[in-house]
Structure 1
Amino acid sequence: MPGQHDPSDPTAPPVLPPGLTTRPLRTSDARAVFELMAAQELEDIGEVAIEEADIVSDWAKPSHDVGARSIGVFDGDTLVAYAELMGADRADTSVLPSHRGRGIGTWLAHWLQELGRRLGSTVIGMPVPQGSPGDRLLEELGFRVRWTSWVLKLPEGARIPDRELPPGYVVRAAQAEELRAAHDVLEDAFLEWSVRGRESFEDFDAATRGRPGFEPWNLRVAVDAHGTVAGVSLVLVSDDGSTGYVDRLAVRRDQRNRGLAQALLVDSFAQARAHGTSTSELSTDSRTGALGLYERVGMVATSTWVNRGIDLTATTENAV
């Protein structure tokens, strides 16, 4: 799926097919981006995993400037492709299946690399279904696999075995005054293996409590006998109400190996079922080492994704 280049200059950057236009995205484009990504996922993995609320909550973060960090590709009034860069290295792209094979993906990959260089990023990467057209294209363009991730589901009718809590511990909904502590537990745990800047509490709050459909019961905490937050789970309900999925799960380092993660999983999925869901799922990746835990409690991997990244060299203005 090569990009279109000026035949007189094989080193020239790719260009878009004639008739397509581009502009930065706006927050009002969230629905169009969702529909675009949903069409691509349906084509590539046979189901839609993305939700409009995912996009809205990401774009609500105070640190993210969607207009400065995104591009939409339009065929007339229809959004047929997009790309954006969040933080230093997290990219997302999508091309409408009907518009594949025309060099749009190559153009977007080039655009993202140039944006990353201007912003001083040293690497950018993006998730793609393993073996998909996007995966093959990125491999051709020199993007390496940085890590692998899996979507896991609990088989119909199955339940995660209960895990008894240590004496004095309780799992319940987080209280308002515990939000900062919950954020700290999540960030401390995720930054043990994720190479990125620390997420601000303001970004966390905007993407969590500010997410469309969020209710206080969605944020679960395990607290010890002194009332200190020891573990956190963020469980959400899909837009159609059918699936409860754990978006984030973490246990404080000094509180591990006490069954808190399993207890939080049991609680999270039970709460989701009490709110009408019939399917339970989550995702994990190879950096966490948690795949075995989820498989041992009966969850089954249903799709595999890879994060492909590429190292960037600084532009002249950013070079030291």
Structure 2
Amino acid sequence: MDLDLPAGLTHRPLTFEDASGVLAAIAAEEVHDLGESSMTLEDVEADWLRPSYDIASSTVGVFDGDLLVAYADLSTPTVGYTAVLPERQGQGIGTALADWIQARARAAGSDRVGAQVPEGSAADRLMRDLGYEALWTAWDLELPADREIEARNLPAGFTIADAGEDDRRATWTLLEDAFLEWSDRDRQSIEDFGARIWGRPGYEPWNLRVARAEDGTVVGATHVHLSGADEDTGEVGAYVAKIGIRPDHRGRGLAPTMLVDAFGRARVHGARRCFLSTDTRAGARGLYEKVGMVATSTWVNRSIRL
């Protein structure tokens, strides 16, 4: 598909070698919109390493010479990612990328496609003007570097430890079941799920923690990883990407205990600031605020019918 771009710009499918350029575009846009970015190269690469994903047919990069100035990525048939360097916004590039994503989503058999963008950002305004409706609100929350984590005791008979290879299928089942209670998407294969966790570049055993009942059954899990250093302060951050408790073990205090455990493990490994994201569908913001987290940014999930 050709793109209607300003004169002098070219486009082509991305390759794995373009990951650093994509990261630079995402980070520049997030810094412009939010004041900082917690995106890492590993975030980009892990998504592209999913076995079901084909980078050549799922991406397009926009270039000014050798410089990547924008990109689009149909990550799944219903979810697209884009970024445009702030100095190149307002030139029609975002509109061209939106057209490309919609065309690719239709070709993949989807009747809807959308993205999550910072509230009030240029991307948010453009999507609204193009007819994307707001479906839900999301927040980034942070445990500030100067805030102590209150220790919490596990209920009797439960333990928390690093997940082993033998725990991977149980962890996949538990976390997918938990997220699919409120998320409108298909179940990920264990191979795609694993590419984002134990297949993520730089993975270490402490990144995946599991809670076990007395009989050894996995009843809870968290995925936490380092998220790079702040350019100004040098402080290393950590991101809790997933947390879930099996339904028959909720209400026992496992979720806040596992969250505190994840933050503690991250701080042992050098993190000063800890982050996670949640949205109105999950109804968990209150839980995170109870352990001392504060909302730092607001996002809007917008979608359009094709």
Q: TM-score range by the shorter chain?
A: over 0.9
My pick for the range that moved more, 152-161 or 170-179, is 152-161
Determine the C-alpha separation between the residues in 1 that align with 2:250 and 2:7. Answer: 57
Equivalence map 1:167-316=2 (5 Å)? 167-240=156-229, 242-312=236-306
> How far 1:160 sits from its partner (Å)?
3.8
Q: Report the Cα offset of residue 14 of structure 1.
A: 7.5
2 CA distance for matches of 1:116 and 1:91? 9
Instruction: Report the AA paired with residue 242 of structure 1.
Output: V
For residues 186 and 212 of structure 1, the distance between their equivalents in structure 2, rounded to whole angstroms, comes to 20
Task: Report the residue type matching 1:121 in the other structure.
Answer: S
SS in 2 for 1:101: coil
- State the match for 2:14 in structure 1: 25
Contact kept? 2:113, 2:304, Cα under 8 Å: yes
The answer to whether the Cα contact below 8 Å between 2:3 and 2:100 also exists between their aligned partners in 1 is: no
Cα offsets for 1:272-300 (capped at 9, x unmatched): 11111111111111110001111122210
SS at structure 2 position matched to 1:68: helix
How many residue pairs were aligned? 300
Percent identical pairs in the alignment equals 50
Q: Is the 8 A contact 1:32 1:79 kept in 2?
A: yes
Unaligned ranges ≥5, structure 1: 1-12, 313-320
Q: Deviations over 1:89-138 (max 9, x none)?
A: 11100001111111000111111111111111111111111001111111
Whose Rg is larger? 1
Q: Amino acid of the residue matched to residue 239 of structure 2?
A: Y
Name the amino acid aligned to 2:241. D
Question: In 2, Cα distance between the equivalents of 1:179 and 1:292?
Answer: 29
More displaced, 245-254 or 203-212?
A: 203-212
Superposition misfits of 4+ residues, deviation over 4 angstroms = none
Q: Which residue of 1 aligns with 2:144?
A: 155
Match of 1:165 in 2: 154
Q: Which amino acid aligns with 2:173?
A: D
Structure-2 separation of matches of 1:73 and 1:35:
13
Aligned to 1:51: 40
Are the equivalent residues in 2 in contact too, given 1:14–1:103 (CA < 8 A)?
no
User: Which of 120, 123, 137 is the aligned partner of 2:126?
Assistant: 137
Query: Are the equivalent residues in 1 in contact too, given 2:38–2:227 (CA < 8 A)?
Result: no
Check the 8 A contact 1:53/1:212 in 2, yes or no: yes
Give distance in 2, aligned partners of 1:82 and 1:235: 27
Pick the aligned partner of 2:49 from 60, 70, 80: 60
Distance 1:289 1:53 in 2: 28
CA distance in 2: counterparts of 1:257 and 1:165, whole angstroms: 12
Q: In the alignment, what sits opposite 2:82?
A: 93
* Structure 2: distance between partners of 1:54 and 1:227: 31
1:7 maps to none
CA distance in 2, matches of 1:118, 1:205: 26
Equivalent-residue separation in structure 1 for 2:255 and 2:286 (angstroms): 13
Is the 2:39–2:227 contact (alpha carbons within 8 Å) kept by the matching residues of 1? no
Q: Note the C-alpha offset of 1:156.
A: 3.2
TM-score w.r.t. structure 1 length?
0.91
TM-score (norm 2): 0.95
Whole-angstrom CA distance in 2 between matches of 1:216 and 1:147? 33
